[in-house]
Amino acid sequence: MTELGWDPTGPNLLVHGDNVRALAELPDASFQLVYIDPPFNTGRTQTRTTTTTVRSASGTRVGFGGNTYESVKGLLYSYDDAFADYWDFLEPRLEQAWRLLNDTGTLYLHLDWREVHYAKVVLDALFGRENFLNEIIWAYDYGARSKSRWPSKHDTILVYVKNPKTYYFNSTEVDREPYMAPGLVTPAKVALGKLPTDVWWHTIVSPTGKEKTGYATQKPEGILRRVIQASSAEGDWVLDFFAGSGTTGAVAQKLGRRFVVVDQNPDAVEIMTKRLGKGTRSVLLPHE
């Protein structure tokens, strides 16, 4: 029995520890879908502070009915997003992702402009250029706007399949979206909506929304919902080994998929433990 004790007929799994060690203990071809959102190599520490609004007689904010409120600053979550050699760090993990995908499986690698062009070259070599499926652009409109260049308002998700002849993709399960020019199509099509293209317009996680966990760079459930709907079926195993706030696990759970999520950041594990609930088994990998 390995330290993980992972059983494909057992419960969902949350692993607190080094993902290289965790991945090495998982058997070949165990997963239908691997989604990873690794650190973007920005060279700085990513932080986010949770803020809660509470009713208070001495508060300075006035709300409904004349009630007053104050904002209480909560925990600060952060992680180090700087690596001396980013690709010495990431490439071995991409090799493991390839090993762990089954013959119908798909990898989604979520990066930004800093490293995505290098990733494409690495994945072409690892998976084969014929196994490249899509470059998805996730476009959003939030945050600061540079006046010295075009503001950066998108991430890139590279999609590779294990086998170009047998990979699973079910577009009929994907949530449809409104037409941008509804006057150009029939009322029936407007009511049905259109299938998404490789450009996904979706807001970030709202700082005041129900999804927020307080974790830096948390990704919205809508993005993961689309990924999981298209490239897996109910009962399939999904893997995320840079799990962060646990969005992959949370969406997989809602859609009837099974999951393994891995992170070595104690803040991430604390958030995921609360978010994923008692039905998820937790394992702590001891330090070597």
Domain boundaries, the chain: 12-47+83-284
Domain 12-47+83-284, CATH: 3.40.50.150
Structure tokens at 128: 């084969």
In sequence order, the 6+-apart residues with CB closer than 8 A to the CB of 156 are 110, 111, 112, 113, 116, 135, 136, 137, 138
Give me the pLDDT at residue 197, please: 96
Specify whether the CB–CB gap between 138 and 223 falls below 8 A.
Answer: yes
Say which range, 42-46, 163-167, 194-198, 265-269, has the weakest mean pLDDT: 42-46
If one compares 16 and 39, the residue with the highest pLDDT of the two is 16
Say which range, 122-136, 211-225, 236-250, has the weakest mean pLDDT: 211-225
Within 13 Å, how many C-alpha atoms sit on residue 74's CB side?
13
In the block, which residue shows the tokens 């652009």?
A: 137
Give me the pLDDT at residue 59, please: 52
Pairing between strand 132-139 and 154-161? antiparallel
Beta bridge partners of 77: 48
Interval 152-183: pLDDT, tens: 899 999 999 999 999 999 999 999 999 999 99
Within 13 Å, how many C-alpha atoms sit on residue 144's CB side?
4
Give me the pLDDT at residue 205, please: 80
pTM for the whole structure = 0.83
Of 225, 235, 273, 241, nearest in space to 257 by CA: 235
Give me the pLDDT at residue 63, please: 46
What 8-state DSSP symbol labels residue 30? -
Of 203, 207, 210, nearest in space to 275 by CA: 210
If one compares 49 and 248, the residue with the highest pLDDT of the two is 248
pLDDT at 282 over 50: yes
Give me the pLDDT at residue 86, please: 75
Say which range, 16-30, 176-190, 197-211, 271-285, has the weakest mean pLDDT: 197-211
